Amino acid sequence: MAEAIIGWAISVLVAAVVVGFVIYLFAVARLPEERPRVPTYDRRGRFMGRYENPGEQIAPGRRGDPRAQRKTAGE
């Protein structure tokens, strides 16, 4: 009796993992291909423009920061 319950529990767990993975794949497919443009302000709080948000991994001034775009906007 206990072996049957354990067998069904493992089957349900495997099915839940497979369904969760399929849902994950559909969710990843729906992600946008580029980052959204966000408002950017200078150190005095003046609006500079809307630029791509580099994400939390990119520190200001590091490679990947869209600083060149900001400089051409007149910072």
Q: Phi, psi at residue 57, to the nearest 5°?
A: -75, -20
For 47, the token pair is 């609006």
Q: What angle do CA 29, 57, 20 make, to 5 degrees?
A: 30
Break the chain into its structural domains and give their ranges.
1-31, 37-72
The per-residue pLDDT string of the chain (75 residues; one tens digit each, 9 = 90 and over) reads 889 999 999 999 999 999 999 999 999 988 877 777 888 887 788 887 887 776 666 655 566 566 655 566 555
